[in-house]
Structure 1
Amino acid sequence: MSANRAAAVLAGLWAGILLAIGLIGAPAGFATLAVSADAGRVAGRMFAQEAYLGLGVAIVLFLLERGRARRAAEAGQGSALNANMLLLLGALFCTVAGYFALQPMMAAARAGQGPWSFGALHGVSAAFFGLKALLVLTLAWRLVPS
């Protein structure tokens, strides 16, 4: 399998995971579990697994895309920092900010600590997750060979 095809498959799988968690997994937990705290723990576990998986996939995609962008730049066909790299870096930022920065703040807010409410932080976290899904979907679309 070529590096280009591998990058397209990885981005497509990552996009599928994001959509499955956001549109199926988390809503199903809240629809079926009697206690919303239990559903929150299940959803939180899914988001945690995706965050760590997303970091790994983003690193692999970054290495693949960086090599491709560098080769294109050396051939005079673009920049080493192309649109795909920006989409990938944006998705990586959303992962780090949306999970690794906001989740500890959400836990503190749930315990009554910190200046922000849990609801406000949850909204920001959901926005980062949605933006990440859009960025990864766009990246997957762009990486598919024409």
Structure 2
Amino acid sequence: MLANARLLLAALWAGSVWAVSYLAAPSAFAVLDSTQAGNVVGAMLTRSAWLAIALAAVLALLTARAADVDARRKRWLYGLIAGMLACSLVVYLGLQPMMAAIREAAGPAGVRASPQWGTFAALHGVSQVLYLAESILGAMLVVKAR
């Protein structure tokens, strides 16, 4: 039963990263103006970060209690959980607040018209790389969790 729970939670976590990063966020920017899309995606990313925190804690606990998992595989699982959580927290606690401050400072003209556009674009690029890394780690977690 613990193995099934680990797999289900790993799939939920990885799936949520994939759904938000590659479906919901691009869709929001395709149909909404950039300010509205940014607000919607920011709310989704906040919820994703809290989900990541909860799932990391539960998965770590399930891994610790897993009698069917040897020590080497447990280290892998802990590493994947920590890596995914780190990616999520760096974006949520580090990059998102900086990007929000730039958006707010830009005012109604928007970020693209701001002198900080280059910084914003760089932060956005770093966040995309972190979500890609989290996506890959999520796939590995799903495979290792079963």
- Kept in 2: contact 1:72–1:80 (CA 8 A): no
For structure 2, the 5+ residue unaligned runs are 107-114
Deviation at 1:80, TM superposition (A): 8.2
Q: Counterparts in 2 of 1:89-100, with a 5 A limit? A: 89-100=82-93
Q: Counterparts in 2 of 1:28-67, with a 5 A limit? A: 28-33=27-32, 35-67=33-65
What is the percentage of aligned positions where both structures have the same residue?
Answer: 36
Any idea what the Cα deviations from partners look like across 1:9-55, whole Å, max 9, x if unmatched? Answer: 0000111111111111011111111x211111111111111111111
Deviation at 1:96, TM superposition (A): 1.1
Any idea what the Cα deviations from partners look like across 1:42-77, whole Å, max 9, x if unmatched? Answer: 111111111111110111001111222xx578xxx4
Counterpart CA distance in 2 for 1:117 and 1:109 is: 8
- Corresponding position: 1:119 with 2:118: no
Q: Does the C-alpha gap of structure 1 residues 89 and 8 become closer, same or farther in structure 2, counting only changes over 3 Å?
A: same
Question: Structure 2 length normalisation: TM-score?
Answer: 0.83
Cα RMSD, aligned residues only: 2.2
Which structure would you say has the larger RCO, counting Cα contacts within 8 Å and 6 or more residues apart?
Answer: 2
Q: When you count helix as a share of all residues, which structure comes out higher?
A: 2
Amino acid at match of 2:43: R
Q: Aligned residues, how many? A: 136
Any idea what the Cα deviations from partners look like across 1:88-126, whole Å, max 9, x if unmatched? Answer: 110111111121121111122332699x81111111112
Deviation at 1:78, TM superposition (A): 2.9
